[in-house]
C-alpha cells in the first residue's frame, strides 16, 4: 500500500492511444472529454497537475526505422502529433471550466506557449493544468523520457503513468494469461528485467532523483479519486527505490 504522502504536484503521463476512444486512429473528442473530467477531478483536490501526452494515436516516428526516412525527421513528426493531441485535450479541459495551458518543446507560438520551466512553475502554482507537448524537443527520446524530464523540472512528487492495464507485469498480460503483477518494484529491477512499461532513460532519470512512478489503468479515474487509487496496490504498481 502507498501511504498518503499528501502529493501536491503530480506529473500525469498519458499515451496518445487514450484519446482514440473506440476508433483505431486519431482523436475522438468524446474520449478527450472523459479524460478531461478525470483531470478536473484531480485538480479539484487541490493538486497541481502537469501532463505529458504521447502521439502514438497519430504517428510513431520509431515505426519508420526500417524505411528510408531518417530517424530525426520521423521523430519530429511524432512530436508534432503530440501537439495535436495536447491541443485537443486542452480544449476538452477548458469545456470543464478548468484553466489549462499547452507548453511545447517545439517552437509553435501560434498554437502553444514555448516551454519554459520557470513559467511552468508559475502556471502550476496559479492552479492551471499544464500540458507538455513536443516531447523533449529532441529526436531519439520518447515521451516517457519527456515525462521523467518534466517531472524533475517541475519538482513533481510522483509520476502517474496511465496505461491500458492495472500495473506492471513480468510479461504482457494482454497476451499471456499467466502474467504475474508486481505490487511494488525497484527502479533497478525494472531496468535489469528490461520491463517495457517505460524506457530505460526514463527509469534512470526518476531513479537518480528519487521520483516514484505509479503505473495504473486510466479507467480507474472514472470512478475513484486519485487518493483512493494511490492507497491500494490492486489499482497499480509502485516503482520506487526500495520495496515497501
Give the number of C-alpha atoms closer than 13 A to the C-alpha of residue 106, restricted to the C-beta side: 19
pTM: 0.92
Residue 3 lies in a domain: no
120: domain CATH number is: 3.40.1160.10
Question: What string of pLDDT tens digits covers the 244 residues of the chain?
Answer: 455 567 899 999 999 999 998 888 999 999 999 999 999 999 998 999 999 999 999 987 666 656 788 889 999 999 999 999 999 999 999 999 999 999 999 999 999 999 999 999 999 999 999 999 999 999 999 999 999 999 999 999 999 999 888 899 988 888 898 999 999 999 999 888 888 788 899 999 999 999 999 999 888 887 788 888 888 778 899 999 865 4
pLDDT for res 169: 92
In the block, residue with C-alpha cell 517505460? 198
Using DSSP, state whether 107 is helix, strand or coil. Answer: coil
Cα 120 from Cα 148, distance rounded (Å): 15
Residue 100 lies in a domain: yes
CB contact at 8 A, 105 and 137: yes
CB contact at 8 A, 162 and 216: yes
CB contact at 8 A, 173 and 75: no
Tally of domains in the chain: 1
Q: What is the dihedral of CA 224, 225, 231, 235, to 10 degrees?
A: 40
pLDDT for res 1: 43
Residue 1 lies in a domain: no
Cα 125 from Cα 121, distance rounded (Å): 6
pLDDT for res 163: 86
Residue 138 lies in a domain: yes
Residue 223 lies in a domain: yes
Using DSSP, state whether 202 is helix, strand or coil. Answer: helix
Task: Give the sign of the dihedral formed by CA 215, CA 221, CA 222, CA 225.
Answer: positive
CA 28 to chain centre: 18
125 membership: H or E segment, kind and range: helix 117-125
Mark out the alpha helices in 126-239 (DSSP H runs).
143-153, 187-192, 200-208, 226-230
pLDDT for res 220: 85
Residue 2 lies in a domain: no
In the block, residue with C-alpha cell 483505431? 24
Q: Which structural domain range is residue 149 located in?
A: 9-240
Biggest alpha carbon distance in the chain?
A: 50
pLDDT for res 173: 87
pLDDT for res 32: 95
Residue 4 lies in a domain: no
CB contact at 8 A, 124 and 130: yes
Amino acid at each position: 500500500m502507498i501511504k498518503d504522502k499528501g502529493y501536491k504536484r503530480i506529473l500525469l503521463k498519458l499515451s496518445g492511444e487514450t484519446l482514440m476512444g473506440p476508433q483505431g486512429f486519431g482523436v475522438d473528442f468524446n474520449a478527450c472529454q472523459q479524460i478531461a473530467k478525470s483531470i478536473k477531478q484531480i485538480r479539484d483536490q487541490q493538486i497541481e497537475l502537469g501532463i505529458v501526452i504521447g502521439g502514438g494515436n497519430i504517428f510513431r516516428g520509431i515505426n519508420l526505422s526500417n524505411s528510408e526516412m531518417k530517424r530525426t525527421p520521423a521523430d519530429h513528426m511524432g512530436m508534432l502529433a503530440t501537439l495535436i493531441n495536447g491541443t485537443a485535450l486542452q480544449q476538452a479541459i477548458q469545456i470543464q471550466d478548468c484553466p489549462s495551458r499547452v507548453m511545447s518543446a517545439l517552437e509553435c507560438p501560434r498554437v502553444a506557449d514555448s516551454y519554459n520551466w520557470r513559467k511552468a512553475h508559475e502556471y502550476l502554482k496559479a492552479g492551471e493544468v499544464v500540458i507538455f507537448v513536443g516531447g523533449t524537443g529532441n529526436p531519439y527520446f520518447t515521451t516517457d523520457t519527456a515525462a521523467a524530464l518534466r517531472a524533475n523540472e517541475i519538482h513533481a512528487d510522483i509520476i502517474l503513468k496511465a496505461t491500458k492495464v492495472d500495473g506492471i507485469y513480468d510479461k504482457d498480460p494482454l497476451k499471456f494469461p499467466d502474467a504475474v503483477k508486481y505490487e511494488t518494484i525497484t527502479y533497478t529491477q525494472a531496468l535489469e528485467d528490461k520491463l517495457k512499461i517505460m524506457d530505460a532513460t526514463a527509469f534512470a532519470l526518476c531513479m537518480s532523483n528519487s521520483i516514484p512512478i505509479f503505473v495504473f489503468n486510466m479507467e480507474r479515474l472514472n470512478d475513484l479519486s486519485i487518493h483512493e487509487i494511490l492507497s491500494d496496490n490492486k489499482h497499480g504498481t509502485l516503482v520506487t527505490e526500495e520495496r515497501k
